[in-house]
Chain A
Amino acid sequence: MRQFFPVEDLARDERFVQTNMAERMKDGRTAIDVEKQSSAKSRGATKRLTPERHDASDAARGLMHGIMVGEIQALEGAGRTAHDFAAGDGTGDTVPFELKLDMARQAWDEARHVEISAKLSDWMGTELGEFAENTVLFEAACSNDPILRLAGVNRALEGLAIDVFTQMKEFGDVAGDPFLEFCEDWMLADEVTHVKMGSDWLRKVTANDPDRRTKALEFQQVVDKLFSFGGARGESADSSFSLAKRFRELAGFTDDEVETISQMDAEALEERKEAVRKYRERVGADA
């Protein structure tokens, strides 16, 4: 078995259809309505997942499917990090033995999350493979530096999972679906643990290597921005879900770090709106 495993070789059965972030952002159905002229019940009125939205059912099912394939990749990523690096003092190609144990524990947690997500998807009437799988999460788990993996996966992506699960838990509550709320609550507890693992190990392993820490935090910001899905996360009504600040604090994020992510989300939203405006101008000019 190879030491590092490329994203394009991820093994899937025939039901899965894979895509990447570039393809996803090109999909017109995900575009932001910069004009905001829709009725109160339309998707354009708010991107928040609420039961009032006319497409709430499909949106929730799509999000749940996204969570499920994300959990599969998180399972694969944690497994690879447990495998790819030898136990050592944390320098070079090695990671502390206890970090490997944490990754194995995370693999088990993610396996349970796949099980939970599969049950929830079934509960919500979704079939596996009904939506495309975006493989960007596993891409963040492909770095040759284990600390970059922790920054990109455990802090950025698992941090995003905290935000998404908080949103889904609230949706379950408001929509009167205690099964959904129950499951999201449990998964949320695990995600806080995973983010804290990332925060703790990042600080511990780079305690005497400030350059490596800086690189890891920069990588985290890149992934954070990539995963803000052009402003899908933020305080604006144009964003699908908000930053779960309280849970992020529990997971080891400082106030400054939470504020930085919040600002980055707002910038990403504006950048995306601008891109949509330009695209529409160009299409209008071509027509």
Chain B
Amino acid sequence: MTDTATPSTARAPFAPWDRRDIPGSFSVDDTARRVGNYKWTEMKLFEALGGWVATVPELDVKMRLGTHCYHHAWHADLWNKRLPELREMKPERLTVPANAAMERFIDAMTEPEAPELTIEKLVGVYRVLIPRFIAAYTYHRNNTSEITDAPTIRSINFILQDEFDDWRDGEMLLQSLITTPDQVQRAADHQARLESIMVEAGGITGLDSIGTAQTTSTEGGA
């Protein structure tokens, strides 16, 4: 039983159900670097999707690529606007790949152009790159400060919704296109080739994309 509150009754700054806390794994500079990697990769992805629209004969795939092209452009825009808020006044300076392997990954992913290579195009995006985006964004969201870095978390939450929806679209298109053992092999071979380069890159932000699982503690490593 509590006394009836009045407008001047003192209240705690955090409500009892608000468990957000200050500690986070990333400094401002760390965050800016990651955000720059996100922007670079989202840009490469929306450019690739836009470029591929004219190269795929399947009408439903064509329309999905056009739609997803904008989603990733919007993500790149969110990160472009976040960079100056992280003290980077020249966003293009940090708009770079995590490392040389990441750049090679994008080159390999965007290599297929012929109209009969729709499976390869979709595999690169929806079975390799977007799962890596989901992983890197989830790791960032779960490890950054819920209070100091709330703007990044808000953007990641919007972006993750797109990534999950787009991944589902792409995966379902692939399932509808892969109907023979030969096509299964093609998809698997291409995925393995790209995955090898991605493993070398370590993910969207390099080797620290999802932290490290090697720890003696029962808590997750970072």
Contacts and interface: CB of A to CB of B under 8 A. Distances in A.
A9 B112 CA distance: 14
Interface stretch (B70-78, B193-201, B204-212): B70-78
B54 A5 contact: yes
Interface stretch (A25-33, A101-109, A217-225, A238-246): A101-109
Nearest to A14: B57
Interface string A48-86: 000000000000000000000000100110111111100
Contacts of A79: 49-54, 65-66, 69
Interface in A130-149: 138
Contacts of B64: 111
A139 to B, nearest CB: 12
Contacts of B52: 1, 79
A84 B51 contact: yes
A82 B55 contact: no
Interface string B19-61: 0000000000000000000000001001111111111111100
Interface of A: 1-2, 5, 9-13, 72, 75-76, 78-84, 87, 97, 100-101, 103-105, 107-108, 110-112, 114-115, 118, 128, 138
Contacts of A2: 113
23 contacts: A1-B111, A1-B113, A5-B55, A9-B54, A11-B55, A13-B58, A72-B62, A75-B63, A79-B51, A80-B53, A87-B92, A100-B43, A100-B73, A104-B46, A104-B50, A104-B70, A104-B74, A107-B70, A108-B70, A110-B66, A114-B62, A115-B63, A128-B59
B57 A80 contact: no
A80 B63 contact: no
Interface of B: 43, 46-59, 62-67, 69-74, 76-77, 80, 92, 110-113, 115
Contact of A1 (B66, B72, B73, B110): B110
B48 to A, nearest CB: 7
A186 B56 CA distance: 27
B50, B57, B73 pick with most chain A CB within 10 angstroms: B50
A5 B48 CA distance: 13
A79, A103, A114, A128 pick with most chain B CB within 10 angstroms: A79
A121 to B, nearest CB: 12
A78 B66 CA distance: 9
Contacts of B92: 87
A271 to B, nearest CB: 33
A97, A103, A104 pick with most chain B CB within 10 angstroms: A104
Contacts of A118: 59
Contacts of B69: 79, 82, 104, 107-108
A80 B54 contact: yes
A75 B58 contact: no
A118 B57 CA distance: 16
B48 A1 contact: yes
Contacts of B74: 101, 104
B63 A5 contact: no
A3 to B, nearest CB: 9
A83 B32 CA distance: 25
